[in-house]
Amino acid sequence: MKLSPSEIQQEINKVRQNNYNQFIKKIHLRNVRGFNDEKIEFKTPVTALIGTNGGGKSTILGSAALSYKNVKPRQFFPKAFLGDESMSEWSIEIELVDKSIYTDKTFTRTARFAQSQWRRDQFRSRHVEYIEIQRTVPAGEIARFKNFLAGNSDDYEIIGLNSNTTKYSTAVLDKDIKHYRVVRRKDNPNIKMYLGSTHNQIGYSQFHFGAGEASIIETIDRIESSPDNALILIEELENGLHPVAVRLFVQYLQNAAKRKRLQIIFTTHSQDAVNELPAEAVWATINKKTWNGKLNIESLRAITGTVEANRAIYVEDEFVKEWVENALGRYGNGLAETTKVFPAGGYPNLLKVSQFHNDNPLLKIPSVALVDGDIYDPATDTPLPKHAKFIGDGYPESIVFNYIYENRIELISLIKQRCLLSKFSEQRILSAIESIQNSSCDHHIIFSELSKKLDFTSSIYIQSGLIDIFNENNQLFWDEIINFISLQQ
């Protein structure tokens, strides 16, 4: 079910090349619910919208829905007769792929709210499946299920689940549902309820499903029943789900998008959901500002002032976070106890996040951005802003690993100890390190590949151990960076 890194990259390339019959490429929000001039670009088939409560996730989701004329705007943007006068200035510009109009280029359409109604001239149709948050409400509290509290059984039929619904729900729930069924009205198949079964085939209705179980089965069934090239919108994906189920569900969404050429957009507060996606697939919205990149939930808390510290450091990813935290502990002279480090996505996203932090009048602590040195080119690059500094002059993982490789003979006993590799001979460890160097593997997977060559010893131990060895032996590498951090006021 889970896509490989190469398959995920292939899907990103399809989006980049406009290789879809229909696809939303960009949304430009002007004066919509506090978004003054924000652009969101959908770079992957599956996109997560994260952010603080009231930050604007549902506004972006609703704007995507408005891209197609068969969606009623009031479903997402109702207007009260009092208090909604500002809607007269709302405008949503949408860049689209639609091969039935242009086979070789994108085009734009603009939705405007004027004269108390939405104007969407020449908008196209597309199947849009909106999976609302109500899906996790117990069946007994939902009006549409009252049809099943009493009635004539002759008016209903019981059928099996879609085979893919069974297959993928079983994978996500880690529970065999091959005996589950659907009961629906003969004259209106949209009135339906799922029927469960215990391991010994004792049946029960959806009234007795767990919230997560019902949510997964119904959502997957609706996705699998949607036509290819559909747009799928999901509110609060993680609602009612165990963290493991959240991760498996996101893997399923990526799989479904590939198989059925779907575009899927979901809102979430779950770090487990974000962790399953590439950086290009994550958009954060905070106080009606948007950023593309793998900000984590803790980063959002820092930006909004709910993390206590004397200063904040924004870096690109979790590896650099561990690298910097280790160095602060070694050489920071107390900085580690008063400084928080947060992953904020790649360049230039972390610059924008750090600048937003510093510009926020509600935040009294300074922030800096430490930028991976792989983009550094003194001959062509413009200087970084004063709140930012390069960290080395290459990929962080490669800086650490290359040092270890070049000094492997002198360091081998230390590597064996710090990486918890006592069961391996020194020669076996050296051979694994040399093999990684010779393979020229992607820097992001250096430590996981080394783990594989050492019988899948935890890559966490290996990464932490090698970071610790590098930092212990490279104080000069950190002196200027730590001095830069300590001087920020």
- Residue 127 scores a pLDDT above 90: yes
Burial of residue 194 (number of CB atoms within 10 Å: 0-12, 13-18, 19+) = buried
Q: Which helix (H) or strand (E) covers residue 94, if one does?
A: strand 91-98
Angle between helices 408-418 and 396-406 (to 10 degrees): 110
Q: How far is 355 from 340, CA to CA, in rounded Å? A: 16
What is the pTM for the complete model shown?
0.72
How high is the pLDDT of residue 378? Answer: 62
User: pLDDT averaged over the chain?
Assistant: 87
Q: DSSP letters of 311-371?
A: EEEEESSHHHHHHHHHHHHHHSTTHHHHEEEEEB-STTHHHHHHHHHHH-TT--S-EEEEE
Does residue 297 carry a pLDDT above 70?
no
Assess whether the previous peptide bond of 348 is cis (omega < 30° from 0): yes
| Higher pLDDT among residues 57 and 146, named by residue | 57
Query: What pLDDT is stored for residue 362 in this prediction?
Result: 65
Q: Quote the pLDDT of residue 307.
A: 55
pLDDT of 279: 84
Predicted local confidence at residue 381, as pLDDT: 64
Q: What is the mean pLDDT of residues 276-292?
A: 85
> 136 vs 29, which has greater pLDDT?
29
Determine contact, residues 250/277, Cβ cutoff 8 Å.
yes
* Higher pLDDT pick, 322 / 439: 322
Q: For residue range 64-121, what is the model confidence (pLDDT) as tens digits? A: 999 999 898 888 888 776 666 667 788 999 999 999 999 989 999 998 887 778 888 8
Residue ranges per domain, the chain?
A: 5-127+228-285, 136-224, 293-394+478-486, 396-475
Q: For residue 390, what pLDDT band results from cuts at 50, 70 and 90?
A: very high
Long-range contacts of 177-182 (CB under 8 A, 24+ apart): 177/217, 180/217, 182/158, 182/221
pLDDT at 447 over 80: yes
AA identity, residue 318: E
Average pLDDT over residues 239-253: 91
Residue 306 has pLDDT above 60, yes or no: no
Q: What is the pLDDT of residue 138?
A: 64
Confidence of residue 489 (pLDDT cuts 50, 70, 90): low
List, for residues 328-349, the tens digit of each pLDDT value. Answer: 999 988 888 888 898 887 888 8
Answer CATH for 5-127+228-285 from 3.40.50.300, 3.30.70.1230, 3.30.300.160, 3.20.20.60? 3.40.50.300
Q: How confident is the model at residue 21 (pLDDT cuts 50, 70, 90)?
A: very high
Q: According to the model, what pLDDT value does residue 212 have? A: 80
Task: Write phi, then psi, for 11 (nearest 5 degrees).
Answer: -65, -40
pLDDT beyond 80 at 142: no
In this predicted structure, the answer to whether residue 140 has a pLDDT above a threshold of 70 is no
pLDDT number for residue 108: 92
Q: What is the pLDDT of residue 119?
A: 87
